[in-house]
Structure formats: structure tokens, C-alpha cells
Structure 1
Amino acid sequence: MLNIIRLKVNGKETELAVDDRESLLDTLRNRLGLTSVKKGCEVGECGACTVLVDGEAIDSCIYLTMWASGKSVMTVEGLKGPNGELSPIQKAFIEEAAVQCGFCTPGLIMSAVEIVGTGKKYNRDELRKLISGHLCRCTGYENILNAMERIVEETYRATHPECE
């Protein structure tokens, strides 16, 4: 059965006719062309399809599009600046060499957006737990953790100047 839903995708109001069974992953990737959303395990265990729904990181492969009705969805494509520039999180991943094959990178970046958005300062062990739902087959996660630790620290300092 098709239903008409409205949602905001990367800041843009969107109206779609969707099947009740359609995953948000399929909608974003196949219908809206947002290819940063990767199809990995399709059972919510690898994190490659991670997007933000109302600021919360979710596995879009096990999240029905219907559930996003009236909500705001953000993908990596929504992070770019007005002139196409990379976000500070994306820059940190590049500068810390946290990108190899790149398959897991968009999902990790979206989790980093959620983590940074909390405004909390996390230590390395806490960050390791927060990204435990992401599989990266290329690295030992060290550079990923370096990038996340760096952006969390930079954001915390910028928002808490009294802690300098």
C-alpha cells in the first residue's frame, strides 16, 4: 500500500509516495540519489547506512521510510557548506587518515555528527563504545578514533572557552 509522506531531507522539504515496507535506506539511496547511504548488511549490524533522524543516528536499513514522516533526515550530503566545502568532521577524518576504502566512512561520520552534537567531552574508551555498531574492514579503528577524538575536543573547546 502506498502512502504519501512529508519529511525534510538534508534541509529540503520532500513529499513521497512510499510503500509501507520500504526502508529509509532504499528511499534515500535509490529514489533520492543520496549515495553516501551505503547498503551493507541490511540487518542493522554494520553501520554503513547510518543517517540522522531528528538528530539521532539510526541504521536506515532497518528503519521504515514511513517512520520518518514529519521528521528531519540528514545524510553526509547534507553536511556540505554553502559553497560545497567539507564539514569540520569530514576534514578531521581526512587529516587523520581515517578513510581507506571509504565504505564505512559516511556512517561513521554521521555517528560523529551525533556525538559532537551532544556537546559532551568523551574519552577514547567512550568513543570506542559509541562507534561499536560500525564495522570497518580496512583499519584497526585507530585513525577513526583519532579523528573522532580530535573533532570532539575541538568542538568542546569552541563551545566551552571557559575550560581553556
Structure 2
Amino acid sequence: MNKQKKEFDYSLDYGSIDFRKHPELYRVGRGEQGVLMVEPYKSEILPHWRFKTPEIAEKSSNKIYQQFLDYKSSKDFVGMDMARKFLQMGYTRARRYTNYKGGKKYKQDGEVKERQNDPVKAESASIFMEKWKLAREDQDYLALKKMHQEKYG
């Protein structure tokens, strides 16, 4: 039975749920939804998430991708998806800093700032993009994602 894909559920008490013990409560959602909420994965991955320079981004993305592979070897879909989200967030945040000094897109008055191009942050973004692409296209990840969504939504 193919259930309709459920949205990320922001109504849960994320501070009290161990999603390793309760994967049935996890919803993939869109993009990076819940990346800073789902435990114990947030606490396992966040300390390694950095993108200030290409060297730091390389080390960070390699570590997070290794965590993705470790979760994969345990068939831990939630962990795989959370690692994928952190890789995606490494790309999107580095791109934001590429385009806007200090990462802030809007001025005080709400007007969009003029875009720039920080080549250092752009390189950091491309480093994360490589690992994000490996994770999101991984055939085992895709199969586990499909099973998880069919079973839990």
C-alpha cells in the first residue's frame, strides 16, 4: 500500500524523541526540513558541519559523508537522510555566503542586498555539492527512502 507522502511534522516534541529508537515518527519533508531538530543525529553530525574555507569544507563534507556511509552500513535511513540534509545545508549556506557578505540577503529595510561573488565560499559550496550529490543519488539510500515513505509516510 503506497501512502501519501507526509510533510515534516513540526508539532512533535523533538527534545524528547530519540529517532533512532522511533524512526516511524520521522518524516523526510522537503530539502533540509528538521535538520537541526532530529536527535540523536543532530548532535552526532552538527559538530562536524563547517564551510568557512575550502579546506574546512573538504574535511567537514568528508566526515559527514563518512557518517552517511556508517548509517548506511547500519541500514539507518533516518541517519542517512539527516547526513544528506547536513551536506545539502553545507551547500546552501556556503552559496548564501558566496552571494551575500555575512550571509545576510536582506537589508534592514527588507530590501534584497546586491549580490556578490565570494570565490572562496563558492569553492566550499561546490565541495559540499559533490558529497550531497553522492548521498542523494545513492541507490541504497533511495531504496531505504522509498521503503520508509511507503511504510510511515
Length-normalised TM-score, structure 1: 0.29
Structure 1 or 2: larger helix share? 2
Structure 1 or 2: larger strand share? 1
Higher RCO, Cα 8 Å, sep 6+:
2
Length-normalised TM-score, structure 2: 0.30
